[in-house]
Structure 1
Amino acid sequence: MGRVRSIWGAGAREASSMSEATIFALSSGAPPAGVAVIRVSGEGVRFGLETIIGPLPPPRRAALRPIRDPRTGELLDAGLVLFFPGPHSFTGEDVAELQIHGGRAVVAAVLDTLGGLPGFAPAEAGAFTRRAFENGRLDLTEVEGLADLVQAETAWQRRLARAQAGGALRSLYDGWRSRLIRARALIEAELDFPDEEDVPGSVSERVWADIAVLSTEVEVHLARAEWGERARSGFEIVLLGPPNAGKSSLLNALAGRDVAIVTDEPGTTRDLIEVRLDLAGYPVTLVDTAGLRQATGRVEEEGIRRALARGARADLLLRLDPADEMVQPRSAPDGVAPEGPPALRIASKADVIDSDSKHFLREAGSMPVSSTTGEGLDDLIRAIGRALGVAEPPPDLALPNRARHRAGLLALSESLQAARKSGLALELRAEELRRAGDALGRLTGRIDVEDMLDVIFREFCIGK
């Protein structure tokens, strides 16, 4: 604690840099609240606690303590204090948590007092997690999982993030790393000591057999990236159909609230209407569009153009037509759905037809659905899950789920495949194994990731 001076008022200026400062922040929700949690981390934690509460509580045991402003002696509050000595803490440093009353004035007074301690500075977004990463408590995949856990909106986002934050990817990648290190060591031994009796020439044969297995494991893992990315970022479903087909009504029914205006007037929806939904645990963006028909004006024409363009990029189309018109067509269908995305055919307004007609439509490959009565909505949700490929998720959740993961795994796979080419000189194959190790290191944050750290940690809120 040589950099800490026994004077008051200097605050954050006493820290030579943010990385050396003892940082603090409100880690719970914004006041007012029943309880507020203030987190502190750094080598000045012991000094800070002794200054504002007196003797430290036993490690990892909550103790009720008065909290005072040492500049005036004023009692600010009384709350529970926990002390976590480093390196066995979240950040790897000494960490404290103050659980105080969540009123605005109380929180502001305690934060102001901490800011007055020499060497203390308010934490920036992601500062606690960044210190955990820099101190080896988390690898980069666990950091990303923690960010996703904070932002998770649906059950599957939570499960995926919880597994990743808990080290599912780290465990898998560390196992791969150990195998690569062993393979490289054996190859290097054969290259450097070809005449030594305890380094048999057949050692590389054993290496390449394991590399072949590892290469297959990476390919299987990479093939699951699309599921992981979609479960994390969400799917897009676009509703298409003629005017008055019930698209806006279905949007409202699935959303459980009135999102879109519904009238009997054709062409009510002119622009795209989006709503974010938790659909059976998956994040989905549902997009309502203008009715497909021969446009009657420039505005409607532009709406139809946008509808078709958005549909072409969707993960799934819901193609709606009124059920009574599907049973007894009165005219040719209006508009053409874009090709490419999978589509479900929906017979909307199914409450106006009888059971025999519904059976006929099902046999023809359409799903009778009524937004008015709710008939068929549960079946539709299950069909959406099957169409998106999420009805049967992977058996475990150690899944790549970001474009960064996909790029790193592709580089790893390419290097492993190149190393397996028997026609290459052993030195070149060893070099490919080194490149594979570097690609894996960038995934976990062991090497060459400084350019992406600021981007990743900006995803966090203050106090995390």
Structure 2
Amino acid sequence: MALLRNISNSFCRIFQRQASSDSACTIYSLSSGHVKCGVSVIRLSGPRTKQALRAIIASGSENGFEFEPKPRQAYLKSFYHPVSKEMIDRGLLLWFPGPASFTGEDACEFQVHGSLAVIAAMLDALGQCDGLRPAKPGEFTKRAFFGGKLDLTEVEGLADLIHAETEAQRKQALLQSTGALARLYDSWRKRLIRCAAHLEAYIDFAEEEQIEGGVILQLTRELNAVKAEIKDHLNDQRQGEILRDGVRTCIVGAPNVGKSSLLNMLCQRSVSIVTPLAGTTRDIIETMHNFGGYPVVFADTAGLRRQTSDAIELEGMQRAKQCINQSDLILLVADARELTTLDSSQSKSVTYYIEKYLNDLDIPLALCNDKVVKLVANKTDTLKTDELENLQKLSNILTISCLKPTNEALQEFLHALELQLQQLCGAPRAEHPRITHMRYRQQLERCIEHIDIFLSDYKPDVYPDMAIAAQKLRQSVRCIERITGHVSCEDILDVVFKDFCIGK
């Protein structure tokens, strides 16, 4: 056990040395967008921040070496090139001494006019200061992570917040970036560490004496409680991941039932080509859409049927089935005239028709087992009033006329679809944070496996090798630590930070 702890500590020291060597440099970058704007923010972080700050404002009556900025106070200053001494711009300066800064290091911000020429001149001026270099993508956040300001779940939440495109995504990312998941996972980690510590204490001090069964029973009760909480956390129907990545919605159906028309209507623009000819769409046409605050990836597919000799159509049908397999929601479009025989008094009639329709389209039911399938009755403008009323009484069916949508019918259709998206994505809540990344799910499942191994080894009258049992508990702790970043794994860090923008 001592050897394992020494190895673990050695790896930690290696990662800490690498982090400290990177932090020896002071980094700078434009943190606002690379476009013309009213104000741009240039950020610095590192041990030579104050020297660089003084070098940029040191000229004439503004003697930078006598200037001592107060923390988190804005100063209106003129900024100069340290070599040519020419004035670049006049703007705001803010000083954030470590550790009370985003990165935990000394940091400052220059707020200048958003001219591309001003930005270029400021970056060139900072490049002339000793000990400064341009920041790499995500390096400010990486320093905050190594400085203990953020754990890895908060870092990934921050990345999601930067990339959020809808209101629901923003809420979920904000909760994660402010520590909702970190607090939950850290509570499990501490409870598992406590169990492992108690067990190791008995290993170290009990010597040859029989270990009291009551201690083991108390450990098993606590482990079962943690295991139940983790299982409940995992049983979330992937809501957090679906919301983060977008609800993949596949529009399928027979040729010429109005799939492309439905996509164009939902997106309020001409995404797919629509003609009276069947089989116009041959490939997958995808578009991202903010639908009621939820991100939806709509996919228009080729019309499906059993018999065709067209090689291109066959390939399009095969791609449509692949799209179904990767989707979260399936909009199964049918001609409303074919649904008039459905009986509203029989609750299973729609389910039976969906299965029959999928079979007619040669779509294996296994592809749709874990998907939400909604039947869309299009071309309702061709129905009589009583036929339409009977159709609208059916559950699990949406009615619409893409050719002649009335405002009332369109609003009802959109509302029903939005309710379905709410069920798929859920509502982000601080008291019940959701899993947002597949690696969280994988590590939590492994954590349960290690707990199960320990629990299966325990027998009321026979005690296993306690050293091995303790190792299983330590492995369950490591699984949680790989999520939060308490155990540094360089490959995980590379994946996390690779998508960050420069300046963050």
Q: Same fold (TM over 0.5)?
A: yes
* Residue of structure 2 in register with 1:245 after alignment: 257
Name the CA shift for 1:136/1:225 in 2 (closer, same or farther; >3 Å). Answer: farther
Offset from partner CA, 1:169-207 (integer Å, 9 cap, x none): 11111111221222222212222222799x976333322
Match of 1:311 among 310, 324, 347: 324
Name the CA shift for 1:194/1:312 in 2 (closer, same or farther; >3 Å). Answer: closer
Name the CA shift for 1:300/1:181 in 2 (closer, same or farther; >3 Å). Answer: closer
Report matched runs for 1:2-401 at 5 Å: 18-53=22-57, 54=64, 55-194=67-206, 202-224=214-236, 226-293=238-305, 294-295=307-308, 297-327=310-340, 335-339=361-365, 340-341=367-368, 342-365=372-395, 366-371=397-402, 372-373=404-405, 374-384=407-417, 387=420, 389-390=423-424, 392-393=426-427, 395=429, 396-401=431-436
* Residue of structure 2 in register with 1:456 after alignment: 496
* 1:400 Cα deviation from its structure 2 partner: 1.7
C-alpha distance in structure 2 between counterparts of 1:337 and 1:383, whole Å: 25
Offset from partner CA, 1:324-353 (integer Å, 9 cap, x none): 343389xx9763444232321111022332
Q: Secondary structure of the equivalent of 2:76? A: strand
Offset from partner CA, 1:294-333 (integer Å, 9 cap, x none): 436322232223223322432222111222343389xx97
Is the contact between residue 69 and residue 113 of structure 1 (CA under 8 Å) also seen in structure 2?
yes
Offset from partner CA, 1:199-230 (integer Å, 9 cap, x none): 97633332222121111111111222711111
Aligned length in residues: 446
Q: Secondary structure of the equivalent of 1:183? A: helix
* Residue of structure 2 in register with 1:412 after alignment: 447
Moved more, 114-123 or 51-60: 51-60
Offset from partner CA, 1:248-279 (integer Å, 9 cap, x none): 11101111211111121222212211111222
* 1:375 Cα deviation from its structure 2 partner: 4.9
Q: Which amino acid aligns with 1:368?
A: T
Q: Which amino acid aligns with 1:398?
A: P
C-alpha distance in structure 2 between counterparts of 1:52 and 1:112, whole Å: 11
Structure ranking higher in helix proportion: 2
Is the contact between residue 156 and residue 231 of structure 1 (CA under 8 Å) also seen in structure 2?
yes
Is the contact between residue 57 and residue 81 of structure 1 (CA under 8 Å) also seen in structure 2?
no
Moved more, 429-438 or 294-303: 294-303
**Percent of aligned positions that are identical:** 42
Q: Which amino acid aligns with 1:410?
A: E
Moved more, 446-455 or 97-106: 446-455
Q: Secondary structure of the equivalent of 1:46? A: helix
Instruction: Indicate yes or no: 2:434 matched with 1:403.
Output: no
Moved more, 374-383 or 169-178: 374-383
Is the contact between residue 241 and residue 319 of structure 1 (CA under 8 Å) also seen in structure 2?
yes
Moved more, 225-234 or 431-440: 225-234
Is the contact between residue 312 and residue 338 of structure 1 (CA under 8 Å) also seen in structure 2?
no
Q: Which amino acid aligns with 2:389?
A: H
Structure 2's unaligned 5+ residue stretches are: 1-19, 58-63, 343-355
Name the CA shift for 1:390/1:316 in 2 (closer, same or farther; >3 Å). Answer: closer
* Residue of structure 2 in register with 1:432 after alignment: 472
Moved more, 173-182 or 416-425: 416-425
C-alpha distance in structure 2 between counterparts of 1:87 and 1:225, whole Å: 40
Is the contact between residue 186 and residue 204 of structure 1 (CA under 8 Å) also seen in structure 2?
no
Is the contact between residue 23 and residue 46 of structure 2 (CA under 8 Å) also seen in structure 1?
no
What is the aligned-residue RMSD (CA, Å)?
2.5
Structure 1's unaligned 5+ residue stretches are: 1-15
